[in-house]
Structure 1
Amino acid sequence: MKILGVESRSTLHSWKSKAKARQQIKLGRDTLERISYVLGIYKAINILLPIAERADRWMHAPNDAPIFGGKSALDRLTSGNVSDLFIVRQYLDAERG
């Protein structure tokens, strides 16, 4: 929920029920931006670490890179700030080259 910037569980449940019913879901610009970053992060991490278990470990493991400050990528992503999604995406894109 924090990654998507969702404040309440009812919003998330509403999205899920509409998706199941194949109804249109109206998302705000902030949410769409967050989804874009998440998809970019997913793509980059799967290119860098194509074995799912390694990618999962990397997301959860403490990281010595300066942008993580010893915390995991997931810690940074769940801060609630859209800028943190951008920074992690930018980091992974730079690692890809």
Structure 2
Amino acid sequence: MTASAHRNAPEFDIDSPKAGQVALKFFFNLMDKWHCSVEEQMVLLGSIGRSTLYKYRQLPEVRLPRDTMERVSYLMGIHKSLRILFGDKPSTYEWVRKANSEAPFNGNSALELMLAGGVVDLADVRRYLDGVRG
């Protein structure tokens, strides 16, 4: 991209309500692929309340908290890594539920680790997959 084209490119504001809507759309599509329960979705979004989750399911244009955007960003990276490693087939989406003896999983699944609830747990799964990808 040339310098002038870069200056004329529209900027994407990650704090905008539109960015929140895009993040939520991605999140709920991924949750369907991973077959996550309502409770699992609430934890993955930062232990939000059930009413907030149902509000988010309507895909409003909403300014999401930074923590929520960070969580969705990690999930996007995890999804991207899985697609690169395994392609777009059902087994790709089953990986998160399979037991894994490697660190940081120690016999648990990636989803079990992510459901510990901390942003760092999502980051650990992402780092692991980035390392596997090379």
Determine if the TM-score, normalized by the shorter chain, exceeds 0.5.
yes
Structure 1 residue 70, shift from structure 2 partner: 0.3
Q: Distance in 2 between matches of 1:79 and 1:55?
A: 22
Structure 1 residue 57, shift from structure 2 partner: 2.9
Which protein, 1 or 2, shows the higher relative CO under an 8 Å CA cutoff with sep ≥ 6? 1
Deviates more, 1:80-89 or 1:4-13: 4-13
Pick aligned residue for 1:38 from 57, 70, 75: 75
User: Which residue in the other structure is 1:57 paired with?
Assistant: 94
Q: Distance in 2 between matches of 1:65 and 1:52?
A: 23
Q: Distance in 1 between matches of 2:118 and 2:101?
A: 21
Deviations, residues 13-34 of structure 1 (Å, cap 9, x unaligned): 11223x2xxx421211100100
User: Which residue in the other structure is 2:51 paired with?
Assistant: 10
1:83 maps to a residue whose letter is V
Check the 8 A contact 1:4/1:31 in 2, yes or no.
yes
Deviations, residues 32-52 of structure 1 (Å, cap 9, x unaligned): 100100000000011101142
Q: TM-score, normalised by structure 1?
A: 0.88
Check the 8 A contact 2:47/2:117 in 1, yes or no.
no
Q: Which runs of 5+ in 2 are unaligned?
A: 1-41
Q: How many residues align?
A: 93
Q: Distance in 2 between matches of 1:72 and 1:63?
A: 6
Query: Percentage identity across aligned positions?
Result: 41
Deviations, residues 42-80 of structure 1 (Å, cap 9, x unaligned): 000111011422223321111010200100011111111
